[in-house]
A and B are shown apart, each in its own frame.
Chain A
């Protein structure tokens, strides 16, 4: 069974631009969560999607948004990029909301650098 895939793996943008990251969950998994990893903050929860609906949201500004498609693939968008948005963005999939975290699998992440 293929794992969680994220594209692109690396991205360089400049301040003010916007970016879209993509996540394809494990086949059969319908819940997708996004996390931001930075050296000082660890992993911080961005949002979770299930059945094309956002179920949970972390404490991030409105510049961060996401969506999920009918095939469970998810995208996250960051508009008006700031230097502080430079981070590793991780996507995790699980069979359904409320699944034991042991059944949540992370992708390799997208490394975003904002110049």
Chain B
């Protein structure tokens, strides 16, 4: 019940295209859903996060769409650039600020943006 399922495992998108990565969860107690970006040899870095009281959050070219009833959330990268090539992890936790909440990560999506 603690799992977060992520798809696809890998994704190739042309420069300027839209990258879409999907995640699904089972535990309805999750109330914080961040996306992390990881470059080779580096730690995960927070990209964008959402809480279930909103259905969408946009920051620049990155948008999270959240469907509470379906227990799904997705990351959309608009106008994908070669510099976006990285591994993307969705995650979920119970509680956020004020608690030492653990993140449950998805299995990751390796994104490659081609010229």
**Interaction A to B:** no
> Could you list which residues of chain A lie within 8 angstroms of chain B, going by C-beta atoms?
none
> Could you list which residues of chain B lie within 8 angstroms of chain A, going by C-beta atoms?
none
